[in-house]
Structures are given as structure tokens and as C-alpha cells.
Amino acid sequence: MKDLRFVQSSISAVEGSKKRRGAKNSGDSVPAELAKLAPEIEALGRKFFVMGEPWVDPQSFQLPCPTDVTANGAERFATESCIQEGIIAELYAFVPKRLHQAMQDTSYFSEKVRILS
């Protein structure tokens, strides 16, 4: 019985933290033009998760597109840093150009994609 209470309290704590996280990311501090694009951003996140990289470092969304590594070039796999730059290049190749600046300027993209993964 003691174990059951522990499990129930653990589940309650996890569910409570999810609600708080959801409230924090509800879009209150997000620019209106980005909030309107939420369905498109979420769809891009789901597609990139399946077709590109399943777990992207959230900071990658706000880094500029690398100039010395391409999304599909062999140099992408030369070193560990090139692999990371290749993921960022792939992200920029996948996301439409009209959304690149918003992706760099806000954490909204990474928050949306992280919620989906």
C-alpha cells in the first residue's frame, strides 16, 4: 500500500509539472505573428523529427546557418563539431527562408519542437 501511494504521488507530481510547463509556453510572451504560425511550426517540427534529426539541441535553432558545412556534404561528418554544424545546416535547409530570422531571434521554435519530441 505504501508503494502504491508513492507511485500515485509521483504521477501527480509529474502531471503537475507538465501543466506548469504548458502554462509557461502558452504563447503569452510570443509575438502574435509567430503564434499564428504555430500549426506550421509544429508540423515542421514533426517532419524534421522524423525525416531529419530526432533530437536537436534547442540552442541549434538560434545559431546562424553555417557557411563551411552543407546539409548533405561529406564534410558534415569529418569531426564532432562538423556533425553539429551539419545538423544546423540541415535545419536551415528544411525550414522555409521566411522563418529563418524568427527561428534565430526567439526560442519559440525550439520550445515547440521540444514539446513534440
Greatest distance between any 2 Cα atoms in the chain: 60
Residue 114 grid cell: 521540444
pLDDT at 107: 81
In order along the chain (117 residues), what is the average pLDDT of each group of 10 residues? Answer: 53 50 50 82 84 80 87 88 90 90 81 64
pLDDT at 20: 43
- Give the CA distances from residue 30 to residues 4, 26, 64, 73, 105, in Å, rounded to whole numbers and listed in that order: 41, 9, 21, 35, 11
pLDDT at 96: 92
Measured distance CA(24)–CA(12) in Å, rounded = 19
Instruction: Flag whether the pTM goes above 0.85.
Output: no
Q: Which of 33, 91, 37, 98 is nearest to 63 (CA)?
A: 91
Measured distance CA(108)–CA(104) in Å, rounded = 9
Measured distance CA(53)–CA(88) in Å, rounded = 10
pLDDT at 39: 87
Domain definitions of the chain by residue range: 35-116
